[in-house]
């Protein structure tokens, strides 16, 4: 099935012509706690496994859309013009093509992100979620959160989880058209939870998550274990969150991330997002845990680590890892 068929089904005759002249929307980034790794449909970004994430209320992307009379979309990223021939611009334009009939108009897109782009901090997630929210406003579609999640997913899988705040769960679904594959907010808050961003590198990742997923599925002998691991971790995580059982939560998050990276490391050629500083920080965390300090990490498709701990450890961690940017996902 083609993305266009899904868009047509969801828009169901809603306008695709000038309704408002401009619209601005913000979407938060999300950090996966039980990862999405592998697609059952690469055109619709349908995942093999369900996943669970936490959104970072103040970190993400703000996008402003206006119509323009150029022959192509004009894109600005953090105030700088983007080369229309770049992969970034082409991917964005292909996505926008889904929302214009016969390319009758183009957009001026101003997108600003307060997170490093393509460094494994889920910038594409907030990027495509912000874009779909801005389109929804521009054309005054008034789509539901579920529909917005499905449309955002067509841009980048993990964007499905950036429409809602807090803990969000993205159902893998089984339908071929993916209408049952969307994310929804879980009814839990965790005021004491802290997330530390350990920025190791802002450089663009060496291999995109899209390519890395494909390479892992095709070549890693361990990939067959991954859906089982995710299916096992997801309910453990949900229970840990519901019961605020931080140890169970942290153990599951870290083990899930390491299992995903183990699949990547055993791909051919191997995919290694670890930098020497990533591993050094992992050792620091394990050393702290040996001293009974409950702190865990997760890592996505990039060298940066996201640390998870509770408010009571905040001052100690500021001393141990001074560069850490500490966020309170439920208080910011
Ligand atoms: O949505 P993508 O194609 O950027 O893939 C995201 C993959 C991970 O960040 C590694 C995991 C996840 O669930 O977000």
Task: Kindly report, residue by residue over 205-255, the tens digit of the pLDDT.
Answer: 679 889 999 999 999 999 999 999 999 999 999 999 999 999 999 999 999
**Where a domain ends, among 185, 209, 228?**
185
What is the pLDDT of the chain when averaged over all its residues? 94
Q: Tell me, yes or no, whether 190 lies in a domain.
A: no
Instruction: Assess whether 284 and 306 both reside in one domain.
Output: yes
Q: What CATH number is associated with residue 296? A: 3.30.70.890
Same domain, 131 and 223: no
Measure the CA–CA gap between 252 and 98, rounded to whole angstroms: 38
* Ligand 1 pocket residue status of 88, Cβ below 6 Å: no
| pLDDT value for 206 | 79
Residues 169 and 223 in one domain: no
In the chain, the number of structural domains is 2
Last residue of a domain, one of 185, 210, 226: 185
User: Does residue 45 have its Cβ closer than 6 Å to ligand 1?
Assistant: no
Whether the CB of 164 sits within 6 Å of ligand 1: no
Whether residue 147 is found in the same domain as residue 252: no
Q: For position 289, what pLDDT does the model report?
A: 97
| Pair 109, 209 in one domain | no
Instruction: Look up the domain containing 46 and give its range.
Output: 3-185
Q: What percent of the chain has pLDDT over 90?
A: 86
Our CA angle for 43, 227, 304, nearest 5°, is 80
Q: Per-residue confidence at 19, pLDDT binned at 50, 70, 90?
A: confident
pTM: 0.95
Distance from residue 10's CA to the centre of ligand 1 (Å): 24
Distance from residue 14's CA to the centre of ligand 1 (Å): 30
Question: Does a structural domain hold residue 332?
Answer: no
Shared domain check, 9 and 68: yes
Q: How many CA atoms lie within 13 A of 297 on its CB side?
A: 24
Element housing 29 (H / E) = strand 22-34
Q: Is the distance from CB of 298 to CB of 257 less than 8 angstroms?
A: yes
Residue 115: what pLDDT? Answer: 80
What does the pLDDT average to over 264-274?
A: 97
Predicted pLDDT of residue 116: 64
Please report the pLDDT score of residue 279 as a whole number. Answer: 97
In angstroms, the CA 253 to CA 6 distance is 33
**59-102 residue pLDDT tens:** 999 999 999 988 899 999 999 999 999 999 999 999 999 998 76
139 with 62, same domain: the answer is yes
Q: Are residues 179 and 313 in the same domain?
A: no
Higher pLDDT, 292 or 117: 292
Q: Which of 185, 214, 235 finishes a domain?
A: 185
121 CB contacts (<8 Å, ≥6 apart)? 29, 59, 115, 197, 300, 302, 304
Question: Is the pLDDT confidence value at 332 over 80?
Answer: no
State whether 75 and 97 are in the same domain: yes
Residue 247 lies in a domain: yes
Is residue 87 assigned to a domain? yes
Percent of the chain with pLDDT over 70: 96
Give yes or no for residue 290 having a pLDDT over 60.
yes
Residue 96 resides in a domain: yes
pLDDT attached to residue 13: 92
Choose the residue to mutate in 226, 300, 303 for probing ligand 1, maximizing ligand atoms within 8 Å of C-beta: 300
Report how far residue 297's alpha carbon sits from residue 239's, in angstroms, rounded to the nearest whole number.
Answer: 19
- Helix/strand number for the chain, H first, E second: 9, 13
How many C-beta neighbours within 10 Å does residue 303 have?
25
Is residue 68 situated within a structural domain? yes
Same domain, 128 and 266: no
Q: What is the rounded CA–CA span in Å between residue 294 and residue 237?
A: 16
Q: For residue 125, how far is its CA from the centre of ligand 1 (angstroms)?
A: 8
**Looking at the structure, do residues 135 and 249 belong to the same domain, yes or no?**
no
Band (pLDDT 50/70/90 cuts) for residue 121 is low
Atom of ligand 1 nearest to the CA of 124: 4
80 within some domain: yes
At residue 28, the pLDDT reads 96
Q: pLDDT digit string (tens) for 145-159?
A: 999 999 999 999 999
| Residue 286: band (very low, low, confident or very high) from pLDDT cuts 50, 70, 90 | very high
Give me the CATH number covering residue 74: 3.30.230.10
Q: Is residue 236 located within the same domain as residue 154?
A: no
Q: How far, in Å, from the CA of 37 to the mean position of ligand 1?
A: 7
The per-residue pLDDT for 117 is 60
Q: Is the pLDDT of residue 119 over 60?
A: no
- Rounded Cα distance between 235 and 277, Å, is 32
Residue 193's φ and ψ, nearest 5 degrees, are -70, 135
Q: How far apart are CA 89 and CA 79, in angstroms?
A: 14
Average pLDDT of the residues in 182-191: 98
Predicted local distance difference test score (pLDDT) of residue 122: 62
Whether 257 is covered by a domain: the verdict is yes
């Amino acid at each position: 099935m083609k993305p266009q068929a899904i868009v047509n089904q969801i828009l169901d005759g809603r306008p695709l012509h000038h309704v408002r002249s401009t619209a601005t929307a913000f979407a938060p980034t999300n950090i996966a706690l039980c990862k999405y790794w592998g697609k059952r449909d690469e055109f619709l970004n349908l995942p093999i496994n369900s996943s669970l994430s936490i959104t970072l209320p103040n970190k993400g992307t703000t996008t402003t859309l206006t119509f323009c009379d150029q022959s192509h979309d004009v894109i600005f990223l953090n105030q700088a013009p983007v080369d229309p021939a770049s992969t970034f611009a082409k991917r964005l334009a292909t996505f926008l093509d889904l929302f214009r009939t016969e390319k009758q108009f183009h957009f001026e897109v101003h997108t600003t992100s307060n997170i490093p782009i393509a460094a494994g901090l889920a910038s594409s997630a907030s990027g495509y979620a912000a874009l779909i929210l801005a389109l929804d406003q521009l054309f005054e579609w008034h789509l539901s959160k579920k529909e917005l999640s499905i449309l955002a997913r067509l841009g980048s899988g993990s964007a499905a989880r950036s429409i809602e705040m807090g803990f969000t769960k993205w159902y893998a679904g089984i339908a071929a058209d993916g209408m049952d594959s969307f994310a929804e907010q879980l009814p839990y808050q965790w005021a004491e939870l802290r997330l530390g961003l350990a920025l190791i590198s802002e450089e663009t990742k060496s291999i995109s998550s899209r390519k890395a997923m494909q390479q892992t599925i095709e070549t890693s002998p361990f990939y067959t274990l991954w859906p089982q691991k995710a299916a096992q971790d997801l309910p453990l995580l949900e229970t840990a969150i519901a019961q605020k059982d931080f140890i169970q939560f942290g153990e599951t998050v870290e083990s899930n991330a390491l299992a995903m990276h183990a699949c990547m490391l055993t791909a051919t050629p191997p995919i290694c997002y670890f930098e020497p500083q990533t591993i050094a920080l992992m050792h620091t965390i394990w050393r702290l845990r040996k001293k009974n300090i409950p702190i865990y990490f997760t890592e996505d498709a990039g060298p940066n680590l996201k640390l998870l701990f509770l408010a009571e450890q905040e001052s100690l961690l500021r001393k141990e890892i001074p560069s850490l940017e500490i966020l309170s996902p439920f208080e910011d």
